[in-house]
Amino acid sequence: MPTVSKTKLQAFAEVGATTIDVVHSTGWAVGSDIVITSTGSSYYEQEYKKITGISGNTITLNSALDYDHYGDTSRITGINGDLDMRATVALMTRNI
């Protein structure tokens, strides 16, 4: 199965957490670098972390989160469909 380059949080990730739950982590490996996008009012709240463990779709991080990251799907339906406010988690260590 091919490596997933980006995914979404599956659950809210609170400040101080050292694990995150993601929708997909296929092909991700311990030692890889990831970025968790901001869901707050400032883009400075994006965080760069290293994966230190993987169990299913639960990722263990090298250090605690400095910011909260929203992980629930907001069901705000409009003419353009549902609005998904969950943080994106992207794999930064990969071959292209």
Mean pLDDT of the chain: 89
Taking the domains of the chain in order of start, what are their residue ranges? 6-91
Q: How confident is the model at residue 96 (pLDDT cuts 50, 70, 90)?
A: low
pLDDT digits (tens, 9 = 90+) for 45-84: 999 999 999 999 999 999 999 999 999 876 666 677 777 7
- CATH code for 6-91? 2.40.33
Give the pLDDT confidence score for residue 75 in this predicted structure: 65
Could you tell me the pTM of the whole model?
0.88
Query: What is the per-residue burial (b if ≥16 Cβ within 10 Å, else e) of 75-89?
Result: eeeeeeeeeeebbbb
The pair of structure tokens assigned to 91 is 């794999």
- Residue 94: name the closest of 35, 53, 45, 22 by CA: 35
User: What secondary structure does DSSP assign to 27-70, as a single string?
Assistant: T--TT-EEEE---SS-GGG-EEEEEEEEETTEEEESS--SS-B-
